[in-house]
Chain A
Amino acid sequence: MTPVIAINDLFTRLGGLWIHRHLNLEIAAGEMVALVGGSGSGKTTLLRQMIGLLTPTQGTIRLFGEPLFGGGGVVRERALRQRFGVLFQQGALFSALNVFDNIAFPLRELKCFDAAMIRDLVMLKLEMVELLPQHALLLPAELSGGMVKRVALARALALEPELLLLDEPTAGLDPDRSAGFVRLIRRLGDELGLTVLLVTHDVTTLAALTTKVAVLAEQHILAHGTLDEVRQFDHPFIRKFFHPPS
């Protein structure tokens, strides 16, 4: 089976510095992979390259076996983009639209459902992320941090993606809410058969959520494997990350 994400010999140069060099990573369908690394190690840059917001200096990224910038025009690129959903760190909800319209937005863009179907779908997504129907009419500014994340997750899931990319999903949430949100992602991932890639620096999130861990340090993927395998890897960064001196 073709891997969902395949990064081959990626180089990135930003502001005169090499961020990534000889970076290789493959993620198979159904895996939940955490991408960890120190501040400024280029995790978010890598995520933005995967979703096509940045182009790598050199090397290729393939999603579902297809390059994102492979020609074939807008239609092919849009079809590929509909196969993954992204949860941005701050949620990136459209501030002028209420919760309902935020989730309905990608569905309306498809232009193949009527209003009643869209309403049912939005209500279903709200239920999936454990929000109540009456939350649908709130504006993003009226939501708490945890709710913003849930709405953003519902919007990311609106187009039934096969791949879900999360940038620091628990950043800015208190431990209790963050645990709840992690449980939610885990449950939805299992239920919908998603492949999940998340960028995080929170070891608890990572332990609760992921099947595999990829460590980004020294400009490439230092280690990639199950949590236990990665823990065994002998490297100063990994030692510090997983066994912080207390």
Chain B
Amino acid sequence: MLHAHYSETQSASDSIELALTGRWTLRALAEKGEADAAWQNRLRELGRRHVVRVSWNCLDIEALDSVGALLLWRSWGRKLPELLLMRPEHLHIFERIAAADGEPAAVVLPRSPFEGLIVLGAGVLAAMRQMRDFVVLLGQLALDLLHLLRHPIDLPGREISANIYKSGVRAMPVTALVGLLIGIALSYLSSLQLRQFGADMFIVNLLGLSIIRELGPVLVAVLVAGRSGSAMTAQLGVMRVTEEIDALATMGVSTSLRLVLPKVVALAVVTPLLVLWATALALLGGMLAAELQLGIGYGYFLETLPKVVPVVNLWIGLSKGFVFGLAIALIACHFGLRVKPNTDSLSANTTAAVVTAITVVIFIDAVFAVALRGIGVPKL
């Protein structure tokens, strides 16, 4: 295969004859590659020359495709040269190029001096739109609940049950493992410190209070947000991409009632239960480590726990679980319904859903901590 090639002949003092040969195609030119930038520059220089007459003999070109033609076209300064010999079938390509040419270059918007302000304003407006959409979603769910009160037959029972299974039952192994390991790690590290003060017995107070009130709910919430929240956003997002949501709407099935409500209800039910489960396993882990490290018997641990940790802490933990579950599901559905039909938007919204959910969970946790600071903590 002959590559694109040309030879220059100086026929008179003021004229150059160029004979083009070989294959002027994408593949041949791509193989020539970067090394031939000089070659192209020379070609361009010849094309732009006005003092000397350059005649182009293209009759011996073996093959010409639009890439080769475009290369010539560009070196000719976007018009056919005056002196040109070319086969008609090749000339045809240039007619097409000439037709495609001449449209204005992509419009570049002038940069405004208030660029920063515009970006800031757009950000604020976008955030406000998000808030408004979220409130709309909440309102829609409230209306759905009212509707369900009057028409209990419409209760999406199967969907709720499926969601409870998917985001609750299937999440039990991972929450158990994480709870157990955190319990062991926490107990092990605290016992090292407590032993220095001779306060071994306080391990029960420490583990009981921190795990039941704080760690259990937050750990479970983070796991649920990463596991079920992302899945919910992705599911709604893909249904949006494949127009399934529109299909449901045309069948008169309410999106919020059939898709959002079951998820919200399921997570609100399931998260407190997972909190209970993970808390129990974390305490178990802590108990094991306390026995190994400090020699505190299981019997003593179990006996002391209810005495030193008021039961109201368990209720606080479970209510946190309920609120966290509610928030995670609402946020996941909010972002899922915002997905636009392209892959970028899907990934961006899934990320946003998980990040927002975890942030909101931590924020709510802080609010709980401040609001309930006088309750359930034994006074010394």
Contact with A along B204-230 (1 / 0, CB 8 A): 000000000000000000000000000
A127 interface residue, CB < 8 Å from B?
yes
B74–A110 CB distance below 8 A: no
Distance (Å) between the CB of A124 and the closest chain B CB?
Answer: 5
A117 within 8 A of B: yes
- The contact of A160 among B26, B73, B92, B241, by CB within 8 Å, is B26
Cβ of B14 under 8 Å from chain A: no
CB within 8 Å of A: which B233-281 residues:
241
Known A95-B342, A191-B92; contact A160-B67, beta-carbon cutoff 8 A: yes
Report B-chain residues with C-beta under 8 Å of the C-beta of A133: 103
- Known interface pairs A95-B341, A117-B74, A140-B342. Does A160 touch B65 (Cβ–Cβ under 8 Å)? yes
**Cα(A50)–Cα(B238), bound, Å:** 30
Q: How many residues of B contact A (CB 8 A)?
A: 29
B25 to chain A: which residues have CB within 8 Å? 160
Chain A residue nearest to B71 (CB atoms) is A117
Is B296 on the interface with A (CB-CB < 8 A)? no
| A117-B74, A140-B342, A141-B340 given; A124·B65 CB < 8 A | no
Q: In the bound complex, how far is the Cα of B127 from the Cα of A176, in angstroms? A: 45
* Chain A residues within an 8 Å CB radius of B343: 94-96
Which residues of A from 95 to 154 have beta carbons under 8 Å from B?
Answer: 95-96, 110, 112-113, 116-117, 119-121, 123-128, 133, 136-137, 139-141
Interface of A is mostly: helix
* Residues in A whose Cβ lies below 8 Å from that of B70: 117, 120-121, 124
Confirm or deny: B96 has a beta carbon within 8 angstroms of a beta carbon on chain A: yes
Any B CB within 8 A of the CB of A82? yes
Q: Chain A's nearest CB lies how many Å from the CB of B294? A: 56
Q: A120-B70, A124-B66, A124-B70 are in contact. Are A96 and B33 (CB under 8 A)?
A: no
What is the bound-complex CA distance between A159 and B92, given in angstroms? Answer: 19
Q: Can you list 29 A-B contacts (CB < 8 A)?
A: A95-B342, A112-B29, A116-B74, A117-B70, A117-B74, A120-B74, A120-B100, A121-B66, A123-B101, A124-B70, A124-B97, A125-B66, A126-B100, A127-B99, A127-B100, A128-B66, A128-B96, A136-B106, A140-B342, A141-B340, A141-B341, A141-B342, A159-B26, A160-B26, A160-B27, A160-B65, A160-B66, A160-B67, A191-B92
Interface set of A (CB-CB < 8 Å, partner B) = 79, 82-83, 94-96, 110, 112-113, 116-117, 119-121, 123-128, 133, 136-137, 139-141, 159-160, 191-192
